[in-house]
Each structure stands twice: as C-alpha cells, then as structure tokens.
Amino acid sequence: MEQSKTQSQKLRGTALYFSLPILAWALYDAANTIFSSNINTIFFPLYLQEIIGTNKVQEQIASTVITYSNAVASFLLVLFSPLFGVLMDRTGRKKKYIIIFTILTVLGTILMGVVGGITFEDSIMGIPMSLFFVILLFVFAKFAYHSSLVFYDAMISDLGTKEQMPLISGFGVAVGYMGTLIGLAVYLFVGDGDFYRSFIPTGVLFLLLSLPLFFIIKDTPKQTAEKQSFLSGYKEIFETFKQARKYREIFTFMIAYFFLNDAVATTIAVMAVYANTVVGISTGKFIILYLVSTLSSIIGSFIFGYIAKKIGAYKSIRIVGILLVVALIIAAVAWNELQFWVAGSMFGIALGSMWVTSRAYIVEITPEEKRGQFFGLFAFSGKVSSIVGPLLYGSITFIFADLGNTASRMALGSLIILTVIGLIIHGKVQKSTN
C-alpha cells in the first residue's frame, strides 16, 4: 500500500482519480452502495411492507420490524468493530478482511432471495417462516457488509496524503452513488410486487464491482513479534480509552458523530416506507425520487471534497449537519410530494457529504500508528448510534401506531433533535484541545 501512496503523491488534478488503486477503491464504494441502497433502503423495507403492512396500523408495525432488524445487526457490529480496528493495526491487513466480509455479504443477500421465494406452511412466533429467515439473513448480511466497511474506510489513509484525503474521499463517495444507479436497474425485473426478486441480482452486482479492489490493491502485512488472540484486542481498546485526555479531540468528535450518524442511518433505513405510507409516493415514483437524491449525493460529494480541502473538514461537517436538520424538518412536515422531493434532494447532498467530510476528518485527527483502531472505534460509535436511532424510531411508531402516519412524523422529528445535539457537541470539538 505504501507504493500506492507514493504514486498518488505525484498525481495532480483528475489524474489522481484515475490511478488504478484509487479507481479500484472507489469502485468498491459503488459495490457496497448497491447493497446499501437496494437492501437497506429500498427493497428489503418494501418487501417487509408488502408482507406485513396490510393496513395503517400494520404499516407502522412494518416500520418497527425494519428498524429493529437494523438495530440487531448494528448491535453485533458494536461487539466486534473495535476489535477489527486493532486487528488492522496489528497485521496491516485490510484487503484480506474486505474480501472475507464481502463474500459473506453476497452469500447472505443471495440466500435472502432464495428463501424469500419459498412458501413455508409453518410460522415462527406468528411470523411466516420464509419472512423469519429472510430477516435473519438480512441481519447477517448487514453485519458482514458493515464489517467490510471498517477495513475499507481505513484503507483510504493508504492511498494518498492528508491533503488529498478530502478529494479521494469525495471521489469515492461520488462513484459509490453511481453504484446506486446501477443497482436500481434490478427494479426493471421486480416491478411493484415480489420485491424478494431484487435480492439475488443485488448480491451478484455487489460481487462484480468488488473484483477490481480484490485484484488491484495489495496489502502490506506487518511482521508481528508474537501472536495474540483476537479478543485480546479489547485490552488495547481499554488502554486507548484510559488515554482519552490525550485524544480529547478525537473522542469529542466521536460523540458528535454518534448523534449525527444516528439521524443519517435511521433515515436511510425508513426512507422508502415513510415516503410510501406518509406522503403517499408510489414505489415507481420513489425509485425516481431516489435517483434524484442519488444524483444530489454525487454532486454534493464532489463539491464537498473541494470545500473540505478549502475550508477544512471540521467546518464542512458543520455545514452538512445544518443541511441535514433542514432536510429532516421539511420531510417531517411535508404534506405533498413536492416538499418531500425537496427534502430528499437536500438529504442526498447531506448524506454523501457527511461521509466525505467525516472520513477525511478522522484521517486528519488520528495518529497513524493507531488509525486502524480509531476507525474501528468510529465504526463502533456509528453502530451504537445505529442501534439507538432505529430503536427510538421503531419504538415511537410501535407505541403510537394507533395514530397512523402521525406516529411516523413524530419518529422522524426525534431525529431532528438528535442531529441538533450532534451539532452542539461538534461545536466543542476543537475547543476540547485548548
């Protein structure tokens, strides 16, 4: 990986984007975005709504199942993501684990499609057996997917200098959202029913676009003096937490990121069902809306890559957070499609830009010798928030299900509060170093 970094230092302008390692890394962003958009945001939620949501109350229950499934997958990652970071720092290996977790994700996604197409007579806890196993496979696939991202996000630090990080990060996210456009092509074979049919081609597309990273980027393994158990990594994490005063800026930002990511991750999970049940947007129209939102993300990612390079990642994150608040407010009160289209476009810009700026800022503030560990801890923070946000949203829709669509508006409103809290804490990040 040092060779890739040295090569990128010599590149300027658009040549930076088309070096083979950076292009292969960016194409993997396109690959994993196909899973994120097709499974996490669109077709799995629509599949659940198709099976469960037979009336207004059941639609809210479907939202609860969606958010709770996401929370369980995030809980598993909470247990392991800090250890993944320690593993990177110990071994120097990233690609090896990206390949392992990508294959597991692909297998889980394909099996979702296989099981979803089988009709079982039996049920488990009142849930049709096929639906029960699809939910379990979703939890498994999402855990593996997010595990791969811990290693993938940390890989960016091997591709260029700190000054190049915002541009490389922006390019990766922009190419990633182009993956959304590719992934949505499966809708042509699904239509407004049998949403499980989207799962198998999604898994295949994920694998195909991952291949350049598998074959082009090389690991640079570290020589370790002695072998240590995987779980012993918790001891190293504990020692890092004991030095929190030394890394105060990092830990303060980690708390801010917790709340900001909370809102982003939960919105991604509920967007399709919210648009359909609350605003009345059909599946076909939502696909178009999602395409517009994706184009906004692509543009925003590129622009904020340059903005972050110009004014710094710290200030850029603040701008993105404010944009996210405005988008959520509009979505929470929207009573017609036009307003939701505006909210969706703004959220698209905020979504892509949040990942561009936060990833660049993590590289900026973390010491190189502990960078893998801190990327693992930020994944830990993000996944804890991915438990809290969906549980909060799902609990509100469950408790107030009798209120129908008002329950979903209340749940989305709770995400505004979380984002504002994140911005307040973010304002204290740089002050924490004084």
For residues 377-405, give the mean pLDDT.
78
Residue-by-residue DSSP string for 211-252: HHHHHH----PPPPSS---GGGHHHHHHHHHHTTTTTHHHHH
Rounded Cα distance between 257 and 64, Å, is: 24
Given this model, what pLDDT does residue 239 score? Answer: 66
Residue with tokens 């040295």: 6
Helix (H) or strand (E) holding 121: none
Angle between helices 199-216 and 165-183 (to 10 degrees): 150
All structural domains of the chain, each given as residue ranges with its CATH number in brackets, are 18-221+233-433 (1.20.1250.20)
pLDDT at 264 over 90: no
77 vs 132: which has the higher pLDDT: 132
Rounded Cα distance between 130 and 115, Å, is: 6
For residues 262-284, give the mean pLDDT.
81
Would you say 86 and 150 are in contact if contact means Cβ atoms under 8 Å apart? Answer: no
Given this model, what pLDDT does residue 175 score? Answer: 85
pLDDT at 103 over 50: yes
pLDDT at 224 over 70: no
Number of H helices, E strands in the chain: 15, 2
Given this model, what pLDDT does residue 238 score? Answer: 67
Rounded Cα distance between 174 and 294, Å, is: 9
Given this model, what pLDDT does residue 234 score? Answer: 62
Rounded Cα distance between 321 and 175, Å, is: 22
Confidence of residue 433 (pLDDT cuts 50, 70, 90): very low
Which pLDDT tens digit goes with each residue over 48-57? 777 775 555 6
For residues 194-209, give the mean pLDDT.
92
pLDDT at 431 over 50: no
Residue with tokens 């890559």: 305
Cβ of 330: how many Cβ atoms within 10 Å?
A: 18
pLDDT at 233 over 70: no
Given this model, what pLDDT does residue 434 score? Answer: 37
pLDDT at 17 over 70: no
Given this model, what pLDDT does residue 294 score? Answer: 81
Given this model, what pLDDT does residue 213 score? Answer: 94
Q: What is the mean pLDDT of the chain?
A: 80
Strand partners, 243: none
Given this model, what pLDDT does residue 417 score? Answer: 92
Which pLDDT tens digit goes with each residue over 238-251? 666 666 567 788 88
Which pLDDT tens digit goes with each residue over 314-352? 999 999 999 999 999 999 988 888 888 999 889 888 887
386 vs 12: which has the higher pLDDT: 386
For residues 381-402, give the mean pLDDT.
79
Burial environment of residue 219 by CB neighbours within 10 A (0 to 12, 13 to 18, 19 or more) = middle
pLDDT at 143 over 50: yes
Buried b (16+ CB within 10 A) or exposed e, 339-377: ebbebbbbbbbbbbbbbbbbbbbbbbbbeeebbbbbbbb
Given this model, what pLDDT does residue 383 score? Answer: 65
Would you say 351 and 41 are in contact if contact means Cβ atoms under 8 Å apart? Answer: no
Given this model, what pLDDT does residue 222 score? Answer: 67
For residues 298-313, give the mean pLDDT.
85
